[in-house]
Amino acid sequence: MHPAVLGLITIVFGVGGCVGYFYGANLFLDKVLYPASGPKAGRNINRANRIRPWVFFGPAILALGLYLAYPVVATFILSFQERLPGDAHVFVGFENYTKMFAEPKFAEAVFNNVLWLTVVPAAATGFGLLAAQLTDRLSWGNISKSIIFMPMAISFVGAAVIFKLVYEARPEDVAQIGILNHLYLLSGGAEPQQWLTIPFWNSFFLMAVLIWIQTGFAMVILSAALRGIPEETVEAAIVDGANPFQIFFKIKVPQIMGTIVVVWTTITIATLKVFDIVFAMTNGQWETQVLANYMYDKLFVAQDWGMGSAAAMIIMLLVTPILVWNVYNARKEMR
């Protein structure tokens, strides 16, 4: 069956199944289990309303337990085991973690993840905030926002393929299709560069892909936050003689700091888990390894389930505090 047809069938039956379940559940509660008629109508309505949220949340809780909680527990157990021939497992304690910490590739992955965490959230949030502020001043601001947000509709692999073409290098006597090498040669460069093979700097070329994608997300959220700032505070600052830079940095930014933190931490979580971009563009070669790609290499290439699971637990350990902090700030912002 063609993948497009399969996807369409999945959407139709998935959405139709959800609609059918909620409609049927309501019908069963209100007409069969607790009918809103007769001498006990009031009591039945109250009981139905108490049960209704659990009927709706039940499938979601079950799915989360099956597809999230169980894999986490299973991965945690596997990280303390070694897989033997015949699919047998033996408990080895912290040996997988010890071997992983001693590997140069793991140290490289940690260093690169720290580099990504330093650059990507700051750059994406900064560019998003700048775009949100500037597009609100334009008459065609909505069109520009749509263009900036468009990369969010592209998968990470699709974006990686696009940027791989941007960085493409061909022999010097052949016309360049990579725009970066074309500009490099026009500016007086001696020969085309293999940008993705240059250690250290190639990580920044990879980061550009994620920054390009996440800037649109940051812009949309921060634009809504900027529009929610009371006009009275801005007008009072103008009356007091504040210039546009002072209004932006001393009046607007402090009032949306909570939203900035939520956006920053959300992009940080996406950065910690980055895999597709590195896998599609370099596969961790030329000193571009990151934790998620390291985990994939151990699990599915080396078939070392113990060390792969240990790497997965390290990623989860790094993501969880940021996720908790993000939820806390989101709830605080709502209050």
Cβ neighbours of residue 228 closer than 8 Å, sequence gap 6 or more: 256
Instruction: Tell me how far apart the alpha carbons of residues 283 and 110 are, in angstroms, rounded to a whole number.
Output: 16
CA neighbor of 218 nearest in space, from 178, 250, 263, 274: 263
Per-residue pLDDT band at 278 (split at 50, 70, 90): very high
CA neighbor of 163 nearest in space, from 209, 99, 131, 119: 209
Please say whether the beta carbons of 225 and 256 come within 8 A: yes
The greatest distance separating any two alpha carbons of the chain, rounded to the nearest whole angstrom, comes to: 91
Q: Is residue 265 helix, strand or coil? A: helix
Per-residue pLDDT band at 333 (split at 50, 70, 90): low
Question: Which residue matches tokens 């894999």?
Answer: 71
- Per mean pLDDT, which range of 249-253, 315-319, 326-330 is the poorest? 326-330
* Residue 239 in this model has a pLDDT that exceeds 70: yes
Per-residue pLDDT at 238: 86
* Residue 138 in this model has a pLDDT that exceeds 80: no
Instruction: Tell me how far apart the alpha carbons of residues 91 and 84 are, in angstroms, rounded to a whole number.
Output: 11
Per-residue pLDDT band at 206 (split at 50, 70, 90): very high
Average pLDDT rounded to a whole number, residues 107-134: 92
Per-residue pLDDT band at 205 (split at 50, 70, 90): very high
SS (H, E, C) 39-73: CCHHHHHHHHHHHHHHHHHHHHHHHHHHHHHHHHH
φ/ψ (deg, to 5) at 47: -65, -45
What Rg value do the Cα atoms of the chain yield, rounded?
A: 26
Answer whether 0.75 is exceeded by the pTM. Answer: yes
For 303-324, how does the pLDDT look when each residue is reduced to its tens digit (9 = 90+)? 888 889 999 999 888 888 887 8
Average pLDDT rounded to a whole number, residues 33-50: 77
For 60-100, how does the pLDDT look when each residue is reduced to its tens digit (9 = 90+)? 888 888 888 888 888 899 889 888 877 777 888 888 899 99
* Higher-scoring residue by pLDDT: 235, 218: 218
Q: What is the chain's mean pLDDT, rounded?
A: 85
Domains of the chain: 3-79 (no CATH), 97-334 (1.10.3720.10)
Per-residue pLDDT at 14: 81
Please say whether the beta carbons of 231 and 305 come within 8 A: no
